[in-house]
Chains A and B, each alone.
Chain A
């Protein structure tokens, strides 16, 4: 029986391990499927990480090293090259690696830090052939940054989220020609600075309200047909345009990898595709916590580390028999606010509420009510789906409520 097992050794897992250690827990085990710690940061060689956390502009591997060093310095146990196959409701973990074979571990507390996977092109039902030269953006990034291989020379990218934008620049820097980044929505899902630094700086056209309607090519991609879409996001046939290319990158969404959570019976939110949690990031199963991209997809790794610290401190409290739940206050949203994390509040204390909005809104008040009375209101000049927001709800605001309602009102 181990005190704390952390599934995933990326930024969430490492930050959680260090925070748990600092809270007095010593029996910690990180299970990581890759050959080293760091998670997806290993292949994110661009900078921009750590601006909030360290006031530095770090690359992904540099940010990862900050935590990896802390894990190593504290002698926290890690099993690398180890894939977790199953998690049960009573916290029995089944995992496999080359040296131990398939083994089981029981844990008193578990922190889920498995990150997320990319939505595949196949899920989009795009017509055409299935030639070589089609990659998810993350896969292409792995080939270039970790394996020194160039996926292709003439590229079209679908999806203007951060990964699509970063890869537009990355491919260009390695000598490929990126002909266009197409984006289904009328706005980009990525950070504003990435539009500047990845597209505008390289004269790569961003085609908003466009999608790929067909892929051409028998053995290798030969081109794509793109088209403008209407307000219902249906392609407009008259606007079809052929772009010759040999490579298509799909950056069409990240999906938290909750297969293990589902196996354990943890309640998942259909909006975030991650666990339903309270302010301590505890799931609906006592002693199982969730943080990082597996809980909800983050834009900034700095917030992942913050969230992992919250989960780890709570896990430590749990192991020390502290931090009882005294209330259960559910949070609801108005649809303009797409979701909040946490989805419920179970202790009376200050809570930092993270949320995402469903569209671009300007001049709004982020409003929290108890169903009748406004408890909190903060003006925002602009909020967008691609930028996670947060507000702090002070303890005194939520003393006597049994439900909270989060919305955007016109300012």
Chain B
């Protein structure tokens, strides 16, 4: 029997698992997809917001500001790159300036440090690529950027290193009370647990219904993005927001920790929780909005585009509460969910301490060895690693410079990659200019070899996403 079962291995479930794994608890993480971080966690703006957006007194406000403060240390412990690059909300008119003043006031009330309004001249010195029509901006030095799925993967990995279990392809279809806890069931398996924590993102309301709780609903709000080549990463240092409107923070421009430039998201309420299609209108809107904001956005440097679905709760705030004994909802975690995630985990830890005893583990290790270990190592260190393990001397992804050693590590190290997208998210192989055109076949072969399956069974992201249709007569060649 598990002490705690977490439903959903996105950034929220991952942070909670990692935080709870410091205690003497048997923890199980259940994930419906073939891999972790498959929902909103892998398709968002990757921003650690400063915390001036959310209304005063909300959980969003409190947990955002606290999460932002916790983030640098957590990233350091988990070996994940974090950059405190700061953010600017830019205004083009006096009406927009008035909105900035509101955000400033709200930010101060929420406890956001060091906010200030920057005028045009200083602003253009800070960011020479902004449109000359810019008037002023709200500058938040404490904002940052992080890779959201790298963070989730590292947090789950660290939790697993501290004895948590991960079960993928576990789609929860029923939850029954019994024996001092709950039975959490999929079609194939049942997990017995004292406590359930519902972090199921878009499906948190459906999980709630399984215990007869229909007090909230979650609907998807679509956000499309365009990613530009690393050539463009230098165009902006800070995250650039337009002055927000009713539908959200608006379309932004941000460098990523990997050196790309990210444009987006759009904001469009939807009803289909599986519709992640990009649209011609959405992509045009992104280019139009960002081109108004900047001197030049080199759209021809597009590498890819994608769409994420925000899990929007119908209460206006994060839904973190216990509907019945031993059950905790952590639902409706839309923006600023990523920034808040360390603080959400901290809050859940508090709530849990009233439910079960939390005894710290003597051998808890908060440190996860960096997955950037090879890429960031010195030349001498790299060569030492290659002598021990020649696979690190062989480049597989030539666009991002990723070695076979790193790819094998991604397949072998918890949480193990089992498909092409999993390798991609852990190593960045297939994320470069050629988007896997060159390295795809080699990675498919490595996955087949390591997972001891046929190359035709290798998938892009589990389920029916097999890469290949079959072999030719003569069979697959190595």
Contact = CB atoms under 8 A, between A and B. Distances in A.
A121 interface: yes
Contact of A220 (B226, B303, B441, B466): B466
Contact of B394 (A98, A127, A131, A142): A98
Contacts of B274: 218
A139 B441 contact: yes
A120 B474 contact: no
Given A98-B394, A120-B303, A174-B472, A128 B456 contact: no
A99 interface: yes
Interface stretch (A150-158, A195-203, A320-328): A150-158
B469 A102 contact: no
Interface stretch (B73-81, B137-145, B275-283): B275-283
Contact of B277 (A117, A129, A139): A129
B302 A128 contact: no
Interface in A106-133: 117-118, 120-125, 127-133
Interface in A249-295: none
A122 B435 contact: yes
A148 B441 contact: no
B386 interface: yes
Given A99-B393, A102-B386, A151 B469 contact: yes
Contacts of A123: 300, 302-304
Contacts of B303: 120, 122-123
Given A127-B278, A129-B276, A132-B459, A149 B465 contact: no
Given A122-B302, A149-B456, A144 B472 contact: yes
Nearest to B286: A125
B246 interface: no
Contact of B455 (A120, A149, A246): A149
Given A130-B306, A132-B467, A144-B472, A125 B441 contact: no
B470 A149 contact: yes
A411 interface: no
B469 A125 contact: no
A96 B438 contact: no
Contacts of A133: 467
A153 B472 CA distance: 12
B475 interface: yes
Chain A interface secondary structure, helix, strand, loop or mixed?
mixed
B477 interface: yes
B382 A117 contact: no
B323 interface: no
Contact of B437 (A118, A130, A219, A247): A118
Contacts of B435: 120-122
Given A143-B441, A219-B463, A219-B464, A117 B433 contact: yes
A305 interface: no
A238 to B, nearest CB: 15
A117 B460 contact: no
A130 B467 CA distance: 12
Contacts of B461: 132, 219
A105 interface: no
Nearest to B282: A127
A123 B302 CA distance: 5
Contacts of B474: 148
Interface residues of B, number: 58
Contacts of A85: 395, 401
Contacts of B387: 101
A147 interface: yes
Interface string A176-195: 10000000000000000000
Contact of B382 (A102, A121, A148, A213): A102
A101 B441 CA distance: 24
Nearest to B455: A149
Contacts of A149: 455-456, 468, 470-472, 476
A152 B383 contact: no
B393 A101 contact: yes
Interface string B427-470: 00000011111101100010000000001100111011111111
Nearest to B303: A122
Contact of B283 (A81, A127, A152, A176): A127
B468 to A, nearest CB: 5
A117 B395 contact: no
Contacts of A363: none
Given A125-B305, A149-B456, A220-B465, A33 B472 contact: no
A143 B441 CA distance: 7
A118 B281 CA distance: 27
Contacts of B440: 135, 139
A254 to B, nearest CB: 11
A151 B468 contact: yes
Given A118-B437, A150-B469, A128 B386 contact: no
Contact of B438 (A117, A127, A174, A220): A117
B256 to A, nearest CB: 15
A246 B434 CA distance: 21
Contacts of A101: 382-383, 386-387, 393
Interface in A213-249: 213-214, 218-220, 246-247
Interface string B392-418: 011100100101000000000000000
B140 to A, nearest CB: 31
A315 B440 CA distance: 36
Interface in B51-73: none
A138 interface: yes
**Residue picked from B379, B471, B472, most chain A C-beta under 10 Å:** B472
Nearest to B279: A127
**Residue picked from A146, A220, A246, most chain B C-beta under 10 Å:** A220
A83 interface: yes
A33 B395 contact: yes
A99 B401 CA distance: 18
Interface string A57-91: 00000000000000000000000010101000000
A217 to B, nearest CB: 9
B270 interface: no
Interface of A: 33, 81, 83, 85, 96-102, 117-118, 120-125, 127-133, 135-136, 138-139, 142-144, 146-153, 174, 176, 213-214, 218-220, 246-247
A-B pairs with the 7 shortest C-beta distances?
A122-B304, A98-B390, A132-B460, A136-B437, A120-B435, A132-B465, A83-B395
Given A122-B304, A147-B476, A149-B456, 19 more contacts: A96-B386, A96-B395, A97-B393, A97-B394, A98-B393, A102-B379, A118-B434, A120-B433, A120-B434, A121-B435, A122-B303, A125-B302, A125-B305, A132-B467, A148-B474, A149-B455, A149-B472, A149-B476, A152-B469
Interface of B: 226-227, 274, 276-280, 282-283, 300, 302-306, 379, 382-383, 386-387, 390-391, 393-395, 398, 401, 403, 433-438, 440-441, 445, 455-456, 459-461, 463-472, 474-478
28 contacts: A33-B398, A83-B398, A96-B393, A97-B394, A102-B379, A118-B434, A120-B303, A120-B433, A121-B435, A122-B305, A122-B435, A123-B302, A127-B278, A127-B279, A132-B461, A132-B465, A132-B466, A136-B434, A136-B437, A143-B441, A147-B455, A147-B477, A149-B471, A149-B472, A150-B468, A150-B471, A150-B472, A219-B460
